[in-house]
Structure 1
Amino acid sequence: MAATNLKALLKRHFGYDEFRPGQETIINTALDGRNSLVVMPTGGGKSLCYQLPALATGGLTLVISPLIALMKDQVDGLRSNGIAAEFLNSTLDNRTAAEVERSAQAGVVRLLYAAPERVSMPGFRRFLGTLDLRMIAIDEAHCISEWGHDFRPDYRQLAELRELFPQTPIMALTATATERVRRDIVAQLGLDGCAEFVSGFDRSNLTYNVKPGAGSWETLLALLDERKGQSAIVYCFSRKDTEELAARLTSDGHPAVAYHAGLAADTRRRTQERFIDGEVPIVAATIAFGMGIDKPDIRLVVHHALPKSIEGYYQETGRAGRDGLPSECVLFFNEGDRAKQEYFIRGMTGEARAVADRQLQQMVDYCRLNTCRRGYLLGYFGDAMAGGSCGNCDVCLAERQSVDVTVVAQKLLSAVMRTGERFGVAHVSDVLLGRNIKRIRELEHDKLSVFGIVDDYDRDGLRLIADGLVERGLIGRADGQYPTLGVTTDGREWLRKRGSLTLDLRVDEPPPQRETSGEPNAGKERTAGKTRGGANTPDAALFEQLRALRRSLADAEGVPAFVVFGDITLNGLAAAKPIHSRDMLAVSGVGPTKLDKYGEAFMAVIREYVGSMTLAAGENASGRPVNGGASVASTRRPAGDASVRELGDTHQLTRRLLQQGLTVAEIVAQRGLSQGR
């Protein structure tokens, strides 16, 4: 298909004028009938790579997706864009499922979503044989590999689809796959010679932070205070942890729900729906939550416990900021955290245990980094970062200063040796700080000459010094269940020669203080409503009105808010303030389909908002041109008019009319709002 026709489909159904990097080539490969493996970071636009070919080729595209909630979200979004899509899963009764199957056989459906468990059933495969099947898309394809972090045996059965439909192109997609996992995906699916597209793994809008586990509760509350009302996931170690944390957060003013595999299926489904719909902003969850969750506006992902692997961590943090807006990923870490994971690893045998040990060690290494965290993550997946600093992780953002640590380094090395080189940094630090605790007394380490000789550093400071000494090769760290410190040959030689040492140490921020009065976000700039000058800057007050309207429309349709418009599109509308259709179409994310469906409702809010601002400024009735020359004179009404009294609250009236069953077009006509064409 010609590039111009593809772009026409892109604008009509998705509202975008241009493809993201790599998408068009992948789409053309599918249209040429070739198999492909697509590795693209979360939020990079993987779904479009098979959704657009489904529109261009006709027939039916089968999408194999691992989670029921993900299917529903994808289908809701496609239908909102005017695309015929359905899903088949256990939430449908027999009658509804039969209707979906008949629609697919009649050629009405363009994209059909199903879980791998269903696809492996003989009856479903016979049903596939009755369809005009043009393409098969396998999402979360890393689940087929034993070397991946989320292996699912049912994915192995998908290899049989190659035998059943040898002429039907397959597109395997994932956001997380090392070279070894990619090779395994290709082998398991029989895609030898397929086109491979490996986009960069960098998520530049995400900020990566590792913070001390000590004081994590106050830090977590401060993070949530900064993002009041925004969506966040807090990953916990155990089911009990999720329930306790959710209850504690709720009692502290941050509504949260728990999610884990031990909950009833209906409870899990309802919890996920409430989070996706924006009814509850925070989920405290085990890793059972969220694989492939299609919610673009998650602003914070917190790991309250140490992840098992870099792949799992990258996948989980990838749920933040899928819309491309700035979002944060925070991991709380203590050296002792690895013991919880090692308890389960000890139950493994053979190569599985060796792999799990190695993956956990890589995760611990990430937490200990004094160099760029993004660079480490990219390097793990075989990607590279230009330069030595990303400028968007805690290591790269931290202020640093050169500090002469000669004296404290001597004390630390001496303490490591005098305690027998069989303890970790926590115990050695406690000795140096002179802590009167039972363990130290039992070992009689309170009688050592190094006991209590440090008073200018705290525990965290000593840990940073120890990490610096490890990097300099003066201390060795024996990793395992209990990571002990030992002085190296170079370290002993340095002590003997009484050398000097300077380290570049981070100047850490003071401990977070919670807001005790006023707005929790006071003095902090929210992502969605920046108010600094500039024609392309979203108007914060208008953004909130548009968001309220979006919520009303979404509630009326029974879909998540982002299905109507994502935050990026709302930002565009709040910045451009379009009051005519041609101007609204110029906003990214608005295509003809959504313009027809929602355009007048949003432009009505914008017209009234612009009118209120004009009246507030005391402008004359002739109207000053706004929005590139469009006049707002037509939006003004006499001061006594009811619509002026409702200025800024148009979404409330719109919601009432929607609840009465009126369409957007009927609401516009009833309210007498001018239609800009």
Structure 2
Amino acid sequence: MRKANIRVETINSTTTKSAKDRIIADLQCGHPLTRLLYVTPEFCQMDYFRRILRVIHSQRELARIAIDEAHCISEWGHDFRPAFKALSFFKTEFPDVPMMCLTATATARVRDDIIETLGLDLTKIKMFRMTTGRPNLHYEVRFKSDEEDHYPNFLHWLKTVHARRTANPDRASQLTSQNQRTDNVPGIIYTLFRKDCESLAARLRADGIGAKPYHAGLPHTERAEALSNWVANVPGYDVIVATTAFGMGIDKENVRFVVHWQIPKSLEGFYQEAGRAGRDGKASVCMLYYGREDRDRAASMMTRDQARLPTKGQGVAAQQQQMLHRGMSLKALVEYCEKTDGCRHRAIAKYFGDEEIPPCDFACDWCKDAKALVERKERGLVSEEVYSTQREMGKYDIDPYDY
């Protein structure tokens, strides 16, 4: 925005005290030089910031309120945060100021909840929806077992992609945006656990792949360096191995693959993270490694979290509702992985209420070769009956407290 000569500021956890004081002083005058301000919903809850907004509004300088990741407002959203719900303050205090809510992952129920929670006027609402279909993304589920290390499978795939680009530089150029390297394959690998980030990145580096870990437990300087160099396509920073702490607000256009190392916590989370691939419109792969051990481990972790919920007090109903949604969304994602009888693009579209899209043009593993998909599932997963029997015998000792 600054390169476009727009006066923009942000207040967040990394903003220095001197910078914050300067921004606040500018806002307090009622006619700020700042044209666009980025803040967190938690900051919007502070009384002193709300007083500043009232002054700005009284001078008719508050032009618009935009809420990104608006699914966080809803108790039925996959990433509900109470501070987002408190943004209803804006419509109560400033009913004449236009409000814009944006999200890529809202079902019909979530959209209705956003409208109701914020107190938006139904007679004045304009809703704009895009299709969930992105034909340049190839969705694929790869089946695995805890008994087998799926790292060699992924490394073979990535090395094959590298070899193919090296052997066909003209094709590599077609898959690469202007002024970007053709000798790398930028990607993201999502893991559920921090320990996997660092160990997996180290294994990739040992095999000649420029990979860096990214999770909330790393020093801020290390995370910032990894992010900036990855976005800039610096050699040695081709792949980011990350937890879900990575990606919000990131808009790197040439991400050629997104891999989920285990099943994510929700279908919305999977769709949002996979959607960071191929933003330049060029072909990209969205690969999910799925095993029934991961499925049961995710369910066990959810049961553990549910047992920790308070039974009394403010917000209990909202937390219970959010946990119910998490269970429904995880079940939908498991069905997405287990089913081998239809297009994956259509399965995602149906979940979000977007049922008009046609089957993809060979852009998922089912449409590409349904018979081979069934065979891979049969090879990769033992039958549900055998798996259940083996688990009862103690073969799969799944303890969520280990993770």
Fold equivalence (TM over 0.5): yes
Partners of 1:165 and 1:218 in 2: how far apart?
Answer: 57
Contact 1:209 1:394 (8 Å CA) reproduced: yes
CA positional deviation for 1:353: 4.8
- Distance between the aligned counterparts of 1:383 and 1:284, measured in 2? 31
Residue 391 of structure 1 deviates from its aligned partner by 2.6
Look up the equivalent residue of 1:394 and give its one-letter code.
D
Residue 326 of structure 1 deviates from its aligned partner by 1.9
Structure 2 equivalent of residue 121 of structure 1: 46
Cα offset, 1:259, TM superposition: 1.8
Give me the CA root mean square deviation.
Answer: 3.0
Q: 1:382 aligns with which of 353, 365, 371?
A: 353
Match of 2:218 among 246, 263, 267: 263
Task: Determine the structure 2 residue equivalent to 1:169.
Answer: 98
CA–CA distance in 2 between the matches of 1:278 and 1:426? 48
The equivalent residue for 2:253 is 296
Match of 1:180 in 2: 109
TM-score normalised to structure 2 length: 0.76
**Residues in 2 aligned to 1:305 and 1:393: alpha-carbon distance in whole angstroms:** 19
Matched residue, 1:212: 143
Q: How does 1:482-521 map to 2 (within 5 A)?
A: none
Amino acid at match of 1:204: P
Superposed displacement of residue 388, structure 1? 4.0
- Alignment partner of 1:289: what SS? coil
Structure 2 SS opposite 1:332: strand
1:89 Cα shift? 2.2
Instruction: Tell me if 1:424 matches 2:387.
Output: yes
State yes or no: 1:360 paired with 2:360: no
Q: Which has the higher contact order (CA 8 A, sep 6+)?
A: 2
Is 1:398 the counterpart of 2:369? The answer is yes
Q: Distance in 2 between matches of 1:95 and 1:82?
A: 23
Question: Kindly, what percent of the aligned residue pairs are identical?
Answer: 39
Check whether the contact 1:259–1:286 (CA below 8 A) recurs between aligned residues. Answer: yes
- Match for residue 315 of structure 2? none
CA deviations over 1:16-39 (Å, ceiling 9, x no partner): xxxxxxxxxxxxxxxxxxxxxxxx
Paired residues, number: 341
Task: Give the aligned partner of residue 99 of structure 1.
Answer: 22
2:36 paired residue among 108, 111, 115: 111
> What is the distance in 1 between the residues matched to 2:343 and 2:2?
42
Q: Relative to structure 1, is the Cα distance of residues 169 and 298 closer, same or farther in structure 2, using a 3 angstrom cutoff?
A: same
Give the match for residue 222 of structure 1. 156
Contact 1:372 1:390 in 2 (8 A): no
User: Offset of 1:106 from its aligned partner?
Assistant: 4.7
Asked whether 1:274 is paired with 2:199, we answer no
One-letter code aligned to 2:82 = P
Q: Using a 3 Å threshold, how does the CA distance of structure 1 residues 379 and 128 change in structure 2: closer, same or farther? A: same
Contact 2:104 2:272 in 1 (8 A): yes
The answer as to 2:239 corresponding to 1:239 is: no
The residue that corresponds to 2:401 in the other structure is: none
- Structure 1 residues 358, 110: closer, same or farther in 2, change over 3 A? same
Q: Which residue of 1 aligns with 2:10?
A: 87
Q: Tell me if the contact between 1:374 and 1:390 (Cα under 8 Å) persists in the aligned partners.
A: no
| Equivalent position of 2:299 in the other structure | 342
1:142-157 map, 5 Å: 142-157=71-86
Report the Cα distance in structure 2 between the residues aligned to 1:278 and 1:312, rounded to whole angstroms: 26
- 1:425, CA displacement in angstroms? 8.1
Cα distance change on mapping 1:277 and 1:157 into 2, 3 Å: farther
Q: Aligned-pair distance for 1:352?
A: 5.0
User: How much does 1:196 deviate?
Assistant: 1.6
Unaligned runs of 5+ in 2: 163-182, 308-319, 399-403
Query: Is the 1:234–1:304 contact (alpha carbons within 8 Å) kept by the matching residues of 2?
Result: yes
Question: Which deviations, in whole Å up to 9, do the C-alpha atoms of 1:460-505 show, x marking residues without a partner?
Answer: xxxxxxxxxxxxxxxxxxxxx9xxxxxxxxxxxxxxxxxxxxxxxx
Counterpart code for 1:233: I
Look up the SS of the partner of 2:288 in the other structure. Answer: strand
C-alpha change, 1:124 and 1:83, in structure 2 (3 Å) is same
Could you tell me how far 1:343 is from its partner in structure 2?
A: 1.8
In 2 relative to 1, CA 345–269 (structure 1 residues): closer, same or farther, beyond 3 Å?
same
Which one of the candidate residues 113, 118, 129 is aligned to 1:198?
129
- Cα separation, 2, equivalents of 1:166 and 1:268: 40
- Secondary structure, aligned partner of 1:133: coil
